[in-house]
Amino acid sequence: MEKKLSIVEPQKEEQDLGYGQLYSDQYARHAKAYRVPFYEGHLFTRTYGVAIEMYDGQKDKKSQVQFEAEITMRKFLEEGCLEYKIKKNHIFINKRTPKTLVEKLSVKTLEALYPLEIQTTLKNELQQIINHEEILERWQKIKMQLQKEYIGKAITQYINAFETKISNNYILLQSLKHEVFYTLLFHDIYAHYDISSQKVNTTLQKEAIIAFPVLGFKSPLLFKGIQKINKYKTYYNTANSYFNAQIDNKPITAKLNVEYDLDGTSFLLENIIAKCHIKHNSTIIKTVNASIFHLKEKPTILKSLEEMQDDINRRENAKKDEENKDLTLKQRFTKWLNI
């Protein structure tokens, strides 16, 4: 069986390969199977600045969305999954706070979704929304607020459409595939690189697919290309991975270039830059440019498995105290005997 590799941890390599100006002589070690680099059970939290710019050539119109995303990750190797907790803050539309009614409604309804907890496979394939019940509870409160503040048929239709989307766990999960941010975040950049390529190249590679959403297209565009990762870390102590693909359906052509930078020590995500261009012959009809950058002024938060267990124990004890606060000593003793 052909061996496949995934990124695990960096290793210093003494020989100087002289590979250009960007890459150092530090080697990123790879390992077999689906080993994901983050420590088992540990919790990592990072905050990213996200900017997504879209251009419609037919309308000659540009639009931009910016926000901060706080992403918490945990790996559970035995269960074969990753868990994410995502928060969105400081949302700007076209470089300003939401101003129109549609923009305000959009931001307000998003409050029901976040924090959003998602489970994926170790290959970052979406599996389920963990906190779906919490989302529905938050939505009921926000829905009541909207119904008090706004009236009209259009508002009712907007509320009903949003409620339909979030009421079903699967439908809500699938809707994430129509957002550029989640498409890039949940792409598999870690596993199944071809071991045979490392003998003759400075990169490892594999065939990959990105279903990239573009506003105005009913379904995401399916880009099939080659995903590569350089075996040597950059001078910025990052591991660099990139994906290039093109769709030729004359007279329409589409190109997608995506570049990932991973922390050279932990292999947590540092940056993503994506560029998508769609042309009709030589005329640009759509472009999407996205950037996701780790905000260095908001440092990575790391909690070990031991710290997480202490936190779990504290929460369980606090819950028991709350349940027992109104019980008499005799009632508490009787409850303890029945446990």
CATH 2.130.10 fits 4-303, yes or no: no
For position 305, what pLDDT does the model report?
A: 63
| Cβ 88 vs Cβ 60: under 8 Å | no
For position 300, what pLDDT does the model report?
A: 82
User: Looking at the predicted structure, is the pLDDT value of residue 227 above 60?
Assistant: yes
> Which helix (H) or strand (E) element contains residue 138?
helix 132-149
User: Looking at the predicted structure, is the pLDDT value of residue 225 above 80?
Assistant: yes
| 57-76 pLDDT tens trace | 888 899 999 999 999 988 87
Rounded CA gap, 298 and 300, in Å? 7
For position 338, what pLDDT does the model report?
A: 62
Reported confidence tier of residue 244, pLDDT bands at 50, 70, 90: very high
As a whole number, the mean pLDDT across the chain is 81
Specify the DSSP class assigned to residue 299: P
User: Looking at the predicted structure, is the pLDDT value of residue 179 above 60?
Assistant: yes
Higher-pLDDT residue of 77, 197: 77
Rounded CA gap, 68 and 282, in Å? 35
For position 18, what pLDDT does the model report?
A: 36
End-to-end CA distance of the chain: 52
Rounded CA gap, 120 and 84, in Å? 8
Q: Considering the entire predicted model, what is its pTM?
A: 0.79
Of 257, 265, 272, 271, the residue nearest 227 (C-alpha): 257
| Cβ 46 vs Cβ 21: under 8 Å | no
